A = this chain, B = another copy of it.
């Protein structure tokens, strides 16, 4: 079962609007068992719309079209559909009376633009839109279903949910597609692919693996296709058990979850508290942690010691240690973590000191260098990492690496 999406609107092509409709429709069709083979955005232009319709693969079962159904002059999807389906516009009295009701309820009077919204191609079946004025339309031609929906996201979602998805589910007893995401941190894509090459080769034919890297987090996505949901789920679960034996240290979540949420849950489940002492990350770790609802249960606060005077005066880091080793050093970052843990009275603390760039690097400590420490009652550990030259990416990677070190230390502590 194959599907394609066509989204219509100049605003998509000049980048003024990000096309979230395609992503939502793709996700829903994919859950319903369709393979979405292509998604195309075109101008609000008669010719471009007709060309896009003509270029659809003959094997496609369902085409979802959004946009260009509004009341203004730049909305020209309906005439284009009429040309493609060799039909003409007629007034739907049912749609017209619904629009009249809607307009009068809002205290407005009907104008020609409103009335035009009740004109639909004769060849279509109308899909009622109870939350807006533009109806959806269902066509069939040469074994393919064409569905045209308004581009306004809530209206599109309404018609999809109320009409389109239930009808497609009835019509297509479908192939089942299941996606599962495994979150990893601590390797990089090329390396991970090498580690997993035998595993990947051993996967059953109906299960595919994809690598989706972002800032050091690599999401491994399993996609399975089959006819029996329970059997397919079990088969994917088996692969995940195998995967977990190969890279237990790299996996931080077996569903799509950010590192800060996983780490927060570990803290909460173990009744542990956290603080941070951040230099180069400038508050990013604290901000990630506190982006999670309920983080006040385990996060007490931070000292952002950007300037050395704050490290010395507020945190109590030794001035000699800074002078002797430099602010970006194992000694300083250990000192920061330990002092912060005592000062803020928490079970764990995380400290960072590094060079985010673009300036401030030396041969010995190039831009992208960071020292990270995690302190607990049991021990303080510190590690050095070197990333790239981009300031924003460095801050992000420093922070994620710190969270991952913390996560590992919490797990270690539990096992003692």
Q: Are B190 and A117 in contact (CB under 8 A)?
A: yes
Q: Is the CB of B310 within 8 A of A306?
A: no
Shortest distance from the beta carbon of A131 to any chain B beta carbon, whole Å: 5
- A172 beta carbon closer than 8 Å to chain B: no
Interface presence of A92 (CB below 8 A): no
Contact (A14, B40) CB under 8 Å given A190-B114, A190-B117: no
Neighbour of A395 across the interface among B17, B38, B291, B357, CB < 8 A = B291
Binding site secondary structure of chain A: mixed
Distance, CA A39 to CA B107, complexed state (A): 40
> Is the beta-carbon distance between B194 and A113 smaller than 8 angstroms?
yes
A84, CB-defined interface residue at 8 Å: no
Give which listed residue, B107, B200, B284, B345, contacts A283 with CB less than 8 A: B284
How many copies of the chain does the oligomer comprise? 2
Quote the shortest CB–CB distance from A354 to chain B (angstroms): 12
B310→A344 contact, CB < 8 A:
yes
Let me know if A193 and B113 touch, CB within 8 A: yes
Contact B16 A113 (CB under 8 A): no
- Which of B73, B213, B223 lies in contact with A10, CB distance below 8 A? B223
A411 at the interface (CB under 8 A from B): no
A90 partner residues in chain B, CB cutoff 8 A: none
Q: With A38-B13, A310-B300 in contact, is A194–B26 under 8 Å at CB?
A: no
Q: How long is the Cα–Cα vector from A232 to B276 in the complex, in angstroms?
A: 52
B314 to A359, Cβ gap below 8 A?
no
Q: A39-B41, A113-B194, A301-B307 are in contact. List 15 more A-B contacts (CB 8 A).
A: A13-B39, A15-B26, A19-B22, A39-B40, A40-B40, A70-B189, A70-B211, A105-B386, A112-B194, A154-B392, A278-B283, A287-B287, A301-B304, A301-B310, A314-B343
